[in-house]
Chain A
Amino acid sequence: MFPPIPNPSVSPDAAKPRFGEKDIMRRSASEVTPPAQRLTEVAKLIDVSKCIGCKACQAACLEWNNLTEEIGFNHGVYENPMDLTPNTFTLMRFTEWENPETENLEWLIRKDGCMHCEDPGCLKACPAPGAIVQYSNGIVDFQHENCIGCGYCIKGCPFNIPRISKVDHTAYKCTLCSDRVAVGQGPACQKACPTQAIVFGTKQEMKDWADFRIKDLKSRGFENAGLYDPQGVGGTHVMYVLHHADQPSIYANLPDNPRISPIVDAWKGVTKYVGLAAMGFAAAAGFLHYVVAGPNRVTAEDEENAEKLTEGKGPAKGPPSAPPPAPPSGPAGHEGRAT
């Protein structure tokens, strides 16, 4: 058993947050100087092999975060609700999987929610300064007062996690209980888990604990057991122990190789610079042309020619190719249509 996190001390000092503004490592749509010293990285480890699907974590999450889910419908499956919502930061996803090797039916239960990526796609996509921050302990948190509800974080996220509230039009997701972690507590879901399928500690502790669990699983015949800490997003601060780590996608479409979409990279990267350069170039070219070539003015001669044309005399100096006045339906009066 992983040693449980002790209950909080009642001394006034214990309520003092252990991390905050000064520990912000990344801030959406802003440039920040990362703190000189990084906090110890934290992580939540979800051992799907120990999960019994009781949903205590889901209930604890709602309770701690003071969320109320809408009363829904029974769809005849175990998921409830059917997907993450602005109120459901974490969701048990159930998969009935037939193992082709053993022909056994395996009931795969995965607690879905924010993975707290080391390289967060949501933060990269976010256009609102300070709406998403990443603390140096690895927690990625949404700051609702700065959120504009555009939903870019949804496009940036490789795990399909954030949801926009129809009530306040801001994005919601798991906070890794940053408020609890700040005072030395573990997340509410971890606290509520009756089987230690969810454990919380430093990232190194979690990796070590995962090693122990993986060895145990391997000894029980799950030879592909392993840790899910995807390097495509720089590793995550929510990790899974999977008994079939060679195929994460069987666990309700957990991405095999998550990474920030190259389209999102192109949009937030090269498009932005090339786009601003193109617009700047167009404006500069216009300005330069005006300075060099000067305005294109109508001359007195043009006005005289127009007057002569309207008075039916024909202008003094018409171009030889088009003898004035042009006949109304002559060859010069009708253009051939190219298309």
Chain B
Amino acid sequence: MTAVNLPPEVPADIQPGDAVRPGRPVHVSRYTLAARINHWITAISLVALALSGMALFTPRLFFLTGLFGGGQWTRTLHPWIGVVLFCSFAILFVRFWRANLPARVDVTWLAHANDLLAGREEKMPEVGKYNAGQKGVFWAMSALIIVLIVSGIVMWDQYFYDLTTIPQKRVAILVHAMAAVVIICVWIVHVYAAIWVKGTMGAMTRGEVTGGWAWRHHRKWLRELVSRKPRAPAE
């Protein structure tokens, strides 16, 4: 069940805790409890950051500061939530990066992205734990969070005012705003994918999906799990 027991040639996209439980329907464990907690801390931080950030981004959304106890509190909390997000995502990154390494099949998958959106799922290649879209979200989030934390520290005047010049801070603030817009768009894609592809939410709530879901969306991953089933306990 644990990584220690895996044979050395275990595919990179099989992660600790991934396992198949036969039955009707088949259940497939996709995320451990720790991974899910880790994910939801990151998710809550990201939403809080988007709301507090947008409140300071445009006067039309300034009223959102009310959610955080007013303007002063929003200004104080936003960077600290950013620190929480950064740390939480860093752990998430360590968990997921190997399964998100690019693979040849990603090119084929991307070439057929239109078929996926049009509902012609049968034309898609078999993919491992993550498809190219999910990998894109993962790497985009990783890169953008680094940009945001670095530019955020430059504009965190309360503690880091003396480290940079005002012209540098101006660049940081523009970069921060642009990166934030992009990460919110990436987040919309991520959330939409989870809503659109039915059966996905269970992966991050109960930690498991049905065999049919795995068959339909991550067949290669399912095959890999089935082929090493004897090593995984049934229950």
Contacts and interface: CB of A to CB of B under 8 A. Distances in A.
B72 A303 contact: no
Interface residues of B, number: 76
Given A129-B59, A298-B213, A307-B26, A286 B178 contact: no
A286 B219 CA distance: 25
Nearest to A309: B226
Contacts of A332: 126, 220, 223
Contact of B212 (A290, A305, A338): A305
Which of B103, B189, B216 has the most CB atoms of chain A within a 10 A radius of its CB? B216
Contacts of B166: 154-155, 160
| Contact-size category for A | 35 or more
A16 interface: no
B223 A338 contact: no
Contacts, number: 214
A294 interface: yes
Interface in A287-322: 289-290, 293-300, 302-307, 309-311, 315, 319, 322
B16 interface: no
Contacts of B121: 296
B117 A289 contact: yes
Nearest to A336: B104
B72 A149 contact: yes
Contacts of B226: 309-310, 325
14 contacts: A149-B72, A160-B166, A164-B158, A169-B72, A169-B75, A275-B177, A282-B184, A282-B189, A296-B119, A302-B212, A303-B210, A307-B26, A322-B223, A325-B226
Interface of B: 9, 11, 20, 22-26, 55-59, 62, 65, 70-72, 74-76, 101-107, 117-119, 121, 126, 128, 155, 157-158, 161, 166-167, 169-171, 173-174, 177-178, 180-182, 184-185, 188-189, 192, 195-199, 210-216, 219-220, 222-224, 226-229
